[in-house]
Amino acid sequence: MSNPNQSLSALNDRSRDIFRRIVDLYLETGEPVGSRTLSRKAAVSLSPASIRNVMSDLEELGLLEAPHTSAGRQPTELGLRLFIDGMMQIGDPSPEERSELEARCTIDGTTPAAVLESVSTALAGLSQGAGLVLVPKQELNLKHIEFVPLSPGKALAVLVGMDGAVENRVLELPLGLPTSALEKASNYLNARLQNRSLEEARTQIIAEITSRRAELDDLTKTVVEQGIATWTGEESGLDQLIVRGRSQLLKDVKAIEDLERIRHLFDDLEAKENLIRILEVAKAGDGVRVFIGSENNLFSLSGSSVIARPYINAQDQVVGVIGVIGPTRMNYARILPMVDFTAQLLGRSLG
């Protein structure tokens, strides 16, 4: 049975109660739940034998499964979906969590980019997962550019934005390029950045080089062209993804299969374009979205889940997406309101 609503309608009150308690215990401990454990910890007024019968029925419905290493049961992805959509009780972040997140969302004395980095790190620590922030790729409004020699054939382009943000990008240059060519290129570009938008400066520079009005020797022109390329790289049309807290995902590794799952998840995190597409779905929605395991092809091997919510500005425009990625047994009831609260904070802080 693949429809969680149909599965929910097939449950009587006793089965719903047993199922909810099993999922609660599983998400709390990360361990499959046995009938005796449930009878003892959840204070269920049924014998272990009666609980086993209910668990067997839930397994037939596709809501529970028995891992080969345990006699207990754990929810399937279908079971988790049913629980999250129809049974989970959601509270509010704790005062400590709210205080931590509010402090990280304060912009005073820092840049919006630094706030987003700080918030994703805080979410990772509080959730024991990896914090995700999706932000629109914006053209860097440059105030100053400088080229610093690194090694033969390489230089560092130091880009300083109008907001004080600094980006460093490595350039591949001809071997034997003199330092004087880097200095000339910096002076040439900075002169054309004055009182112009980045696009206006780029258009003028290209026009000057094309018409040969630019008084540049061939080596300096090469540096200038490489510098222009750093403004409009191949990623300029894509949203940017900030991922923080990968190490948090290693804290809950209990077996070899867990380690293999984490390895696959790390591979997923490296495939940022695919993860960005998932968050774009959340960006187009309203409220918090939960993506569970193989519901999305990206996580078919790692068995991971994403909790994500868009954040909006003062004009009710969606700016980006904040979220957490972790194992499917993450504590959804705790993390979901945390993500929701953080998105609201970001909307207010970033305006």
Burial category of 98 from C-beta neighbours within 10 Å (exposed 0-12, middle 13-18, buried 19 and up): middle
CA dist 78 and 91 (Å) reads 23
Q: Are 239 and 135 in contact (CB under 8 A)?
A: yes
Average confidence (pLDDT) per 10 residues, the chain, 351 residues: 60 88 88 85 75 91 83 90 90 90 76 82 89 74 82 83 75 84 86 71 80 76 74 54 79 65 73 75 84 76 82 81 88 93 86 62
Number of H helices, E strands in the chain: 13, 10
233 Cβ contact list (under 8 Å, min separation 6): none
For the entire predicted model, the pTM comes to 0.68
Q: Give the pLDDT confidence score for residue 170 in this predicted structure.
A: 82
Q: Give the pLDDT confidence score for residue 324 in this predicted structure.
A: 92
Q: Give the pLDDT confidence score for residue 254 in this predicted structure.
A: 62
Q: Which of 243, 112, 261 is nearest to 104 (CA)?
A: 112
Q: Give the pLDDT confidence score for residue 235 in this predicted structure.
A: 43
Q: Give the pLDDT confidence score for residue 108 in this predicted structure.
A: 66
Q: Give the pLDDT confidence score for residue 95 in this predicted structure.
A: 92
